Amino acid sequence: MKIFFALLMGVVIGGAAVWFYGTSEGKSTARATGDQLGSAAKSARDAVQEKLKVLDLRSDDIKDELARNGRIVRRRAREAGQAIADATADARVTGAIKGKLLADRELSALSISVNTTDGVVTLSGTVSSSENISKAMLLAMETDGVREVVSTLQVRAAAKK
Protein backbone atom coordinates (compact mmCIF):
# COMPACT_ATOMS: atom_id res chain seq x y z
CA MET A 1 0.00 0.00 0.00
CA LYS A 2 2.82 2.42 0.86
CA ILE A 3 4.58 1.66 -2.42
CA PHE A 4 1.38 2.30 -4.38
CA PHE A 5 0.86 5.63 -2.57
CA ALA A 6 4.48 6.70 -3.21
CA LEU A 7 4.16 5.75 -6.89
CA LEU A 8 0.90 7.70 -7.17
CA MET A 9 2.49 10.78 -5.54
CA GLY A 10 5.46 10.55 -7.94
CA VAL A 11 3.11 10.45 -10.95
CA VAL A 12 1.14 13.44 -9.63
CA ILE A 13 4.27 15.52 -8.95
CA GLY A 14 5.77 14.57 -12.33
CA GLY A 15 2.55 15.49 -14.11
CA ALA A 16 2.42 18.84 -12.33
CA ALA A 17 6.02 19.58 -13.36
CA VAL A 18 5.30 18.72 -17.00
CA TRP A 19 2.19 20.91 -16.97
CA PHE A 20 4.05 23.84 -15.32
CA TYR A 21 6.96 23.76 -17.75
CA GLY A 22 4.47 23.44 -20.63
CA THR A 23 2.88 26.80 -19.76
CA SER A 24 4.40 30.07 -20.96
CA GLU A 25 5.28 31.02 -17.35
CA GLY A 26 7.08 27.72 -16.82
CA LYS A 27 8.97 28.11 -20.09
CA SER A 28 10.08 31.63 -19.16
CA THR A 29 11.15 30.40 -15.69
CA ALA A 30 13.15 27.57 -17.25
CA ARG A 31 14.67 29.99 -19.78
CA ALA A 32 15.58 32.48 -17.03
CA THR A 33 17.14 29.72 -14.94
CA GLY A 34 19.08 28.52 -17.98
CA ASP A 35 20.25 32.07 -18.69
CA GLN A 36 21.40 32.49 -15.08
CA LEU A 37 23.29 29.20 -15.20
CA GLY A 38 24.86 30.17 -18.52
CA SER A 39 25.87 33.57 -17.16
CA ALA A 40 27.37 32.00 -14.02
CA ALA A 41 29.26 29.45 -16.10
CA LYS A 42 30.63 32.19 -18.38
CA SER A 43 31.65 34.26 -15.38
CA ALA A 44 33.41 31.29 -13.79
CA ARG A 45 35.11 30.42 -17.09
CA ASP A 46 36.34 34.02 -17.45
CA ALA A 47 37.65 34.02 -13.88
CA VAL A 48 39.56 30.77 -14.48
CA GLN A 49 41.02 32.11 -17.73
CA GLU A 50 42.16 35.28 -15.95
CA LYS A 51 43.84 33.26 -13.18
CA LEU A 52 45.55 31.05 -15.77
CA LYS A 53 46.81 34.17 -17.51
CA VAL A 54 48.09 35.77 -14.29
CA LEU A 55 49.87 32.57 -13.18
CA ASP A 56 51.21 31.84 -16.69
CA LEU A 57 49.39 28.50 -16.79
CA ARG A 58 47.87 28.79 -20.26
CA SER A 59 48.70 25.85 -22.50
CA ASP A 60 51.00 27.98 -24.71
CA ASP A 61 52.94 29.15 -21.63
CA ILE A 62 53.28 25.56 -20.42
CA LYS A 63 54.52 24.32 -23.82
CA ASP A 64 57.06 27.16 -24.10
CA GLU A 65 58.43 26.60 -20.62
CA LEU A 66 58.65 22.84 -21.10
CA ALA A 67 60.59 23.43 -24.32
CA ARG A 68 62.99 25.85 -22.58
CA ASN A 69 63.51 24.23 -19.17
CA GLY A 70 62.01 20.76 -19.29
CA ARG A 71 59.96 21.54 -16.17
CA ILE A 72 57.33 23.93 -14.88
CA VAL A 73 57.55 25.70 -11.56
CA ARG A 74 54.97 28.13 -10.19
CA ARG A 75 54.71 29.61 -6.73
CA ARG A 76 52.07 31.85 -5.40
CA ALA A 77 53.66 35.13 -4.38
CA ARG A 78 51.85 35.22 -1.06
CA GLU A 79 52.99 31.69 -0.14
CA ALA A 80 56.56 32.43 -1.21
CA GLY A 81 56.49 35.65 0.79
CA GLN A 82 55.18 33.78 3.83
CA ALA A 83 57.93 31.16 3.50
CA ILE A 84 60.55 33.92 3.39
CA ALA A 85 58.98 35.63 6.40
CA ASP A 86 58.94 32.32 8.30
CA ALA A 87 62.60 31.67 7.49
CA THR A 88 63.64 35.13 8.65
CA ALA A 89 61.52 34.76 11.80
CA ASP A 90 63.27 31.47 12.58
CA ALA A 91 66.69 33.06 12.01
CA ARG A 92 65.72 35.99 14.25
CA VAL A 93 64.62 33.61 17.03
CA THR A 94 67.85 31.60 16.74
CA GLY A 95 69.93 34.78 16.88
CA ALA A 96 68.04 36.11 19.89
CA ILE A 97 68.54 32.88 21.82
CA LYS A 98 72.24 32.75 20.92
CA GLY A 99 72.56 36.34 22.16
CA LYS A 100 70.95 35.40 25.48
CA LEU A 101 73.30 32.42 25.80
CA LEU A 102 76.31 34.69 25.16
CA ALA A 103 75.14 37.10 27.85
CA ASP A 104 74.81 34.35 30.48
CA ARG A 105 78.08 33.54 32.28
CA GLU A 106 77.04 30.01 33.29
CA LEU A 107 76.02 28.88 29.79
CA SER A 108 78.44 28.44 26.92
CA ALA A 109 77.04 29.64 23.60
CA LEU A 110 79.79 27.63 21.89
CA SER A 111 78.68 24.37 23.53
CA ILE A 112 74.98 24.83 22.82
CA SER A 113 73.59 24.54 19.31
CA VAL A 114 70.30 26.32 18.57
CA ASN A 115 68.09 25.36 15.63
CA THR A 116 64.66 26.90 14.93
CA THR A 117 62.06 25.56 12.51
CA ASP A 118 58.55 27.05 12.39
CA GLY A 119 58.93 28.39 15.92
CA VAL A 120 60.12 25.07 17.36
CA VAL A 121 63.55 25.51 18.96
CA THR A 122 65.91 22.57 19.38
CA LEU A 123 68.79 22.94 21.84
CA SER A 124 71.63 20.43 21.57
CA GLY A 125 75.15 20.12 22.91
CA THR A 126 76.58 19.95 26.41
CA VAL A 127 76.23 21.92 29.64
CA SER A 128 77.92 21.63 33.03
CA SER A 129 74.78 20.75 35.08
CA SER A 130 71.13 19.82 34.83
CA GLU A 131 70.27 23.26 36.24
CA ASN A 132 71.91 24.77 33.16
CA ILE A 133 69.64 22.66 30.93
CA SER A 134 66.66 24.23 32.70
CA LYS A 135 68.20 27.69 32.41
CA ALA A 136 68.90 27.31 28.67
CA MET A 137 65.35 26.07 28.06
CA LEU A 138 63.92 28.98 30.06
CA LEU A 139 65.98 31.49 28.05
CA ALA A 140 64.66 29.94 24.84
CA MET A 141 61.03 29.82 26.04
CA GLU A 142 61.12 33.51 26.98
CA THR A 143 62.05 34.52 23.43
CA ASP A 144 59.35 36.01 21.17
CA GLY A 145 58.30 33.71 18.33
CA VAL A 146 59.06 30.47 20.18
CA ARG A 147 56.19 27.97 20.21
CA GLU A 148 58.03 24.97 21.63
CA VAL A 149 61.49 24.07 22.96
CA VAL A 150 63.04 20.63 22.54
CA SER A 151 66.25 19.93 24.42
CA THR A 152 68.75 17.19 23.72
CA LEU A 153 71.34 18.90 25.92
CA GLN A 154 73.61 16.52 27.84
CA VAL A 155 75.45 17.12 31.12
CA ARG A 156 79.15 16.71 30.46
CA ALA A 157 81.26 14.89 33.01
CA ALA A 158 83.49 17.15 35.09
CA ALA A 159 87.17 16.93 34.17
CA LYS A 160 89.35 15.28 36.85
CA LYS A 161 92.21 17.34 38.26
Q: Show the 3-state SS of 87-102.
A: HHHHHHHHHHHHHHHH
- The pLDDT, as a whole number, for residue 123 is 93
- Residue-wise pLDDT tens digits, 90-136: 889 999 999 999 998 888 888 999 999 888 999 999 988 888 898 99
Residue 151 has pLDDT above 80, yes or no: yes
Compute the distance between CA of residue 97 and CA of residue 114 in angstroms, rounded to an integer: 8
- The pLDDT, as a whole number, for residue 149 is 93
- The pLDDT, as a whole number, for residue 94 is 93
Compute the distance between CA of residue 152 and CA of residue 158 in angstroms, rounded to an integer: 19
The phi and psi torsions of 104 (rounded to 5 degrees) equal: -90, 125
pLDDT band of 71, cuts 50, 70, 90: confident
Q: In the chain, where are the structural domains located?
A: 2-69, 78-155
Query: Higher-confidence residue: 160 or 104?
Result: 104
123 in Cβ contact with 152 (< 8 Å): yes
- CATH C-level class of 78-155: alpha beta
Query: Higher-confidence residue: 138 or 55?
Result: 138
Residue 77 has pLDDT above 60, yes or no: no
- Residue-wise pLDDT tens digits, 8-60: 777 778 766 666 656 665 555 556 555 665 666 667 667 766 766 666 666 77
Considering the chain, what percentage of its residues have pLDDT values greater than 90?
23
Residue 142 has pLDDT above 60, yes or no: yes
Query: Higher-confidence residue: 61 or 138?
Result: 138
Compute the distance between CA of residue 76 and CA of residue 122 in angstroms, rounded to an integer: 30
